[in-house]
Amino acid sequence: MESGIINLNIVPVRKEDNAKSEMISQLFFGETITIIKIINKWSFVKSNIDNYEGWVRNLHYKKLSNAEYLEISNKKNIFSSTELKIKDIINEIVVPTGSLISSAKFLNYEHEENQNVISISKIAKSFLNTPYLWGGKTKFGIDCSGLVQSVFKTFNIILPRDAKDQSKKGIEIINEFKNGDLAFFGDNKEKISHVGIILKNKKIIHAYGKVRIDSINNKGIYNIEENKITHSLQIVKRII
């Protein structure tokens, strides 16, 4: 199969091969893909980051030769913890948090120093008040599992795209939850439908209407505005 690389800052991944189809995820600048099939102006692709599959426009990626793909794959990747300004000779684009920069020798990029010491909670809080968007993974719009995936990606920890698959990673924690643990919610452990990142002081950050911070207890997420438990806690996992 052929390979490609995303050459725009944000590319929608759709359920079907048309622009009106539901967006199920997004791909970021610098991420590589496997091209499974091409139909007219659309390609059915698999992300080489998380193996998620969907349809993208042919114009939104550049095909790679085997040699180019191997060169990119063998480079040490940089996952941005903030928005980066990427420049080449004539163009400049801003790529979102969590974008993959694999060919650094060709780029001039500006970023905060000591990115590795920025806490998970700080990066997660940078998404506060981002509107909820099904399939979204950026500060223009994001869903619950997209928030978790994007935050952990900045630490070079690649999690699956969907909450139900994310819940299968890490070590289950029975009590003494800590900052950075992932809490999963749903009808039962086999029907996970929501995820959030636990913060200090029995708080959780998650995407529900928007990215927000709520209280969490052994029953689930307590929403003070609705005065009720909005999501039933099923399992907590420690990734780091």
Q: Could you tell me which residue, 217 or 105, shows the higher pLDDT?
A: 217
Shared-domain flag, residues 156 and 215: yes
Shared-domain flag, residues 14 and 96: yes
- Residue 165 belongs to a domain with what CATH number? 3.90.1720.10
Count of structural domains, the chain: 2
Shared-domain flag, residues 104 and 123: no
Fill in the DSSP letter of residue 72: H
> For residues 130, 128, 6 and 84, what is the CA-based torsion angle, rounded to 10 degrees?
130
Shared-domain flag, residues 17 and 50: yes
Q: Determine the average pLDDT of the residues in 208-219.
A: 97
| 8 A C-beta contact, residue 55 and residue 43 | yes
Q: Which residue has the tokens 């793909």?
A: 69
Shared-domain flag, residues 51 and 147: no
Shared-domain flag, residues 6 and 80: yes
Among residues of the chain, what percentage have pLDDT more than 70?
82
Shared-domain flag, residues 99 and 156: no
Fill in the DSSP letter of residue 117: G
Shared-domain flag, residues 89 and 128: no
Cα(54)–Cα(72) distance, rounded to whole angstroms? 22
Give residues with Cβ within 8 angstroms of 190, minimum separation 6: none
* End-of-domain residue from the set 110, 138, 163: 110
Backbone angles phi, psi at 71, to 5 degrees: -65, -45
- Residue 48 belongs to a domain with what CATH number? 2.30.30.40
Q: Is 206 noted as a catalytic residue in this protein?
A: yes
* End-of-domain residue from the set 110, 133, 153: 110
Q: Nearest CA to 5 among 25, 43, 18?
A: 43
Does 78 have pLDDT greater than 70? no
Q: What does the pLDDT read at residue 114? A: 39
Does 148 have pLDDT greater than 60? yes
User: Of residues 60, 111, 206, 231, which has the active-site annotation?
Assistant: 206
7-40 per-position pLDDT tens digit: 999 999 999 999 999 999 999 999 999 999 999 9
Shared-domain flag, residues 89 and 125: no
Cα(135)–Cα(162) distance, rounded to whole angstroms? 10
Shared-domain flag, residues 212 and 144: yes
Shared-domain flag, residues 161 and 69: no
Q: Choose the weakest-confidence range: 45-54, 68-77, 161-170.
A: 68-77
Amino acid in the structure at residue 131: P
Q: Is 231 noted as a catalytic residue in this protein?
A: no
3-state class (DSSP) for residue 165: helix
Give residues with Cβ within 8 angstroms of 154, minimum separation 6: 79, 80, 81, 97, 98, 115, 118, 123
pTM over 0.75: yes
Q: Which residue has the tokens 């990606």?
A: 153
User: Of residues 60, 111, 144, 231, which has the active-site annotation?
Assistant: 144
Shared-domain flag, residues 61 and 128: no
Amino acid in the structure at residue 27: L
Task: Give the Å distances, CA to CA, from 209 to 60, 76, 94, 144, 171.
Answer: 29, 36, 26, 10, 29
DSSP bridge pairs for 2:
35
The count of other CB atoms within 10 Å of the CB of residue 90 is: 5
Edge-to-edge strand order for the sheet containing 53-57? Answer: 23-28, 10-14, 53-57, 42-47, 32-39, 2-6, 61-64
* End-of-domain residue from the set 110, 137, 160: 110
90-125 per-position pLDDT tens digit: 444 455 655 655 544 434 444 443 343 348 999 999
- Beta pairing, strands 210-216 & 203-208: antiparallel
Q: Is 144 noted as a catalytic residue in this protein?
A: yes
Domain range for 55 is 2-110
